[in-house]
Structure 1
Amino acid sequence: MNAALAFSVLILFAVAVPIGVSLVLASAFGIHFFSNVPLLLMAQRVFTSLDSFPLLAVPLFILSGNLMAAGGISERLVGLAKSMVGGIQGGLACTCVITCMIFASVSGSSVATTFAIGAILIPAMVRHGYPVGTAAGIQASSAELGVLIPPSIPLILFGVATETSVGQLFLAGLGPGLLIAAALFVYLRILCKIKGYGLRDGDDSEPFPKALVKAFWALLMPVVVLGGIYGGVFTPTEASAIAVVYALVVGMFVYRSLTWAKIHDAFQTSVVSSTIIMIIIAGAGLFSFLVTRSGLPTIIADWVQQVFTDKVSFLLAVNVFLFIVGMFVETSAAILVLAPLLTPIAVNYGVDPVHFGLIIVVNLALGMFTPPVGVNLFAACAVAKISIQKIIPSLLPMVLVVMGCVLLVTYIPFISLGLVEYFYR
């Protein structure tokens, strides 16, 4: 049955059937032809996959991010970041990294970050003399911070798929997120010095105190959400509901830029995005059930332990495998299908499940801006109105920078687990 499931999924992927639908159809095919269980099991397993309280955080964080973006948060965060670093050469490029890092703690989504911040900063960088391909590449690579800085939708999905604490995963995401942001910051400063970009990036930037006042309510949201989680006031799922209420109140009554029409659009966009993710979750849950029932995880675990005799070689193989997967498979689907298979094996090698969750998410985040199907890549190209061919030359060095960070996160557990050990253990 394993071969039939894999073959049917690959065929469906090849003919461009959506990932969630592919997983459901392949599972139905496997149940009907290669299993003695009734088809009625499909409905039961799909319901079980979605019947999870932590999963409620996914649509709510998506909605809160869309409401904050529609309410003018992105412009205020860009203004704040520009007031901090706009005066240095390459300040706009560095502003992109800092703004994406801050906005990531609002939206939890790298694609939302790409559109919200890229719509402002890509045209601004082009006006200041950056090649359009370089500007789009900077945005695409910086936006990956949206899946690392909490709240992070992929980290929620990993927690649900492997029964790992979402609160600990959120805390563990801060170290890798800050590391990648710092590495991109240093690289962009060097690039701008060599190429002569951004000599007048400080033009029109506001004084820092004024920009901070404007962005105060936007910056307070992650403080309220994360402070409440780690202070034990509410769970991550309850925090997502509070984030929605906060976004509505700030957008409508503080900034007064969130109209009923914008609220309607934000809800509509959130419903579509949430539905796509939930279909993938349902399909992945059914698919994973069949794979587990077939005994494949045990077969894979035995093979892996025979081939890779130590943790170092195992983690290196995982990095290579996930990098390839991330280039072709949507992040949510990859996490939901692979995390339950790989995490028990990693634990057998002595890898902490929280640390392994960050290894998976950081690797798949890299895939978000690598060809051929990196979602951030397409989003940045759509904002910049250019083809992918124009963005790739400037993107490759940033891919190498993030690869270096992936290796550091993999082999230095303290980067992920330092804060977790301090607060939880």
Structure 2
Amino acid sequence: MIWLVVLLFVLFFLRIPIAFALGITSLVGLLLSDTDLVVIAQKSFSGIDSFTLVAIPLFVLAGEIMTVGGISKRLVNFAELLVGHLPAGLALVAVLACTFFSAISGSAIADAAAIGGILIPAMIAQGYDRRFASTLVASASTIGPVIPPSIPMILYGVMASVSIGDLFLAGVTPGILMAVGLMAYVYYVGKKQNIRGREKMASRKEIMVGLKDAFLALLLPVIIIGGFRSGIFTATESGVIAVVYALIIGVFVYKELTIKMLPKVLLESAVSSATILFVIANATLFTWLLSYHDIPDQLGDLVTSISSAPWVTLLLINVVLLIAGTFIDTISALTIFTPLFLPVATTAGVDPVHLGIIITVNLTIGMITPPLGVCLFVTSAIAKVNLAQMVRPLLPQLLILLVILVLVTYWPNLSLFLPHLVGGK
């Protein structure tokens, strides 16, 4: 079955779209294994036949509404009031604003587009290097899928039969740690290069006015997590609440979202959602084919033959995911590797919730790692810089995120203490 994986990678390098590459590889494997082709329809459909997965298009729609509804602008303004006076103030604002928006959108690409569209031109106008501005927003946008609500965590929760509420809580501390690490780096650069922020620190009154303006946007993740943990609503119902909440804020409170804008918003979210679900369907078929040929068991035996120590297992998982994340998108990689690594990790004594956070952080780092690096493509287009020019300023930011990944991997309580605290464990 190694040749199937080789074929998949060949199709990736030929730049065949991920979903089609997975589908073609699966079809070839089925044809050569003399399996009834009705499996294609059965397994592909079973991959998306989940009520919980309805939350994904709902959160995508909520993110689109928030992007055009004036929410990102208010979060940027509030972040600027908090840290704009510090060295490299505008760069700090970029990281903090991405963190705020992460708690609303659940998507790294949405973060990069919404916050980058506002702050990258502003940073360039203030004299920041285009490459630095572009890579910083891309790096900060990786916080999006880690801090709840998170689209990858919803998918992992469905595939691993893990509480999505626990996953959301487990992502809070690693996400904040990623933000703090990037902000510390920016502050160091600002001090070293004498990059000044706003001349005057915002007054308490200005901060309170800014908080009032952004409060309703910041309240959404509290409502979602609180509703989850209290059992008021499910993951899917939380997606509905997010959409309705975003509509109310955008149309009636901020009054920047008009009825005429809704068809475009609905179309863009429908295209994004269809792409994600198509990838999930084909990836489910591919992972079934791997399971049919006992690949997960063989992988487990291979890992055990190398070492039975949990830290070695986690190291191997990290290495594979970091490499895969450079050329496979997050949703595809998550759908492929979760069924492969979950039994291996649980055998080694790794908590499934902890594994979900490890996988999510790994794959979000892949979103800023060439050659795929989709967040880099988004921010480089805004900054009008070549992707190759971004590699050098990206390296220290990437190193910070890798250090945090190591902490998340080998310090389980960093992720698990919140779910345990709230769950009373």
| Aligned residue identity for 2:133 | A
Alpha-carbon distance in 2 for matches of 1:377, 1:165: 32
Residue 117 of structure 1, CA deviation: 0.4
Q: Are the equivalent residues in 2 in contact too, given 1:92–1:201 (CA < 8 A)?
A: no
* Segment drifting more, 331-340 vs 390-399: 390-399
1:234-249 equivalences in 2 (<5 Å): 234-249=233-248
| Structure 2, gaps ≥5 residues long | none
Q: Are the equivalent residues in 2 in contact too, given 1:90–1:201 (CA < 8 A)?
A: no
**TM-score, with length taken from structure 2:** 0.97
Alpha-carbon distance in 2 for matches of 1:328, 1:141: 17
Residue 202 of structure 1, CA deviation: 5.9
Give the aligned partner of residue 388 of structure 1.
387
1:20-419 equivalences in 2 (<5 Å): 20-35=19-34, 37-200=35-198, 207-419=206-418
* Segment drifting more, 265-274 vs 196-205: 196-205
Q: Are the equivalent residues in 2 in contact too, given 1:46–1:283 (CA < 8 A)?
A: yes
Alpha-carbon distance in 2 for matches of 1:54, 1:84: 37
Residue 3 of structure 1, CA deviation: 2.6
| Aligned residue identity for 1:144 | T
Alpha-carbon distance in 2 for matches of 1:202, 1:309: 57
Residue 309 of structure 1, CA deviation: 2.7
Residue 21 of structure 1, CA deviation: 1.2
Q: Deviations over 1:291-316 (max 9, x none)?
A: 10111111111111010231112211
* Segment drifting more, 144-153 vs 6-15: 6-15
Alpha-carbon distance in 1 for matches of 2:202, 2:270: 38
Q: Are the equivalent residues in 2 in contact too, given 1:129–1:197 (CA < 8 A)?
A: no
Structure 1 residue runs of 4 or more that deviate by more than 4 Å after TM superposition: 201-206
| Aligned residue identity for 1:401 | I
Change (3 A) 1:87 1:43: same
Give the aligned partner of residue 12 of structure 1.
11
Identity of aligned residues (%): 42
Change (3 A) 1:261 1:198: farther
Alpha-carbon distance in 2 for matches of 1:198, 1:160: 47
RMSD: 1.5
Residue 203 of structure 1, CA deviation: 9.0
Alpha-carbon distance in 1 for matches of 2:60, 2:328: 21
Q: Secondary structure at the match of 2:144?
A: helix
| Aligned residue identity for 2:190 | C
Q: Deviations over 1:7-58 (max 9, x none)?
A: 33123222211111111111111111223x2111111111111101111110
Q: Are the equivalent residues in 1 in contact too, given 2:12–2:327 (CA < 8 A)?
A: no
Q: Deviations over 1:311-343 (max 9, x none)?
A: 112211222221111111111100100011001
Q: Deviations over 1:214-264 (max 9, x none)?
A: 112211222222221122211111100111011111111111110123222
Alpha-carbon distance in 2 for matches of 1:151, 1:79: 22
Residue 212 of structure 1, CA deviation: 1.2
Q: Secondary structure at the match of 1:220?
A: helix
Residue 204 of structure 1, CA deviation: 9.5
**TM-score, with length taken from structure 1:** 0.97
| Aligned residue identity for 2:383 | A
Change (3 A) 1:394 1:203: farther
Alpha-carbon distance in 2 for matches of 1:152, 1:198: 34
Alpha-carbon distance in 2 for matches of 1:358, 1:202: 39
* Segment drifting more, 353-362 vs 253-262: 253-262
Q: Are the equivalent residues in 2 in contact too, given 1:133–1:391 (CA < 8 A)?
A: yes
Q: Provide the aligned length of Structure 1 versus Structure 2.
A: 423
Alpha-carbon distance in 2 for matches of 1:196, 1:127: 17
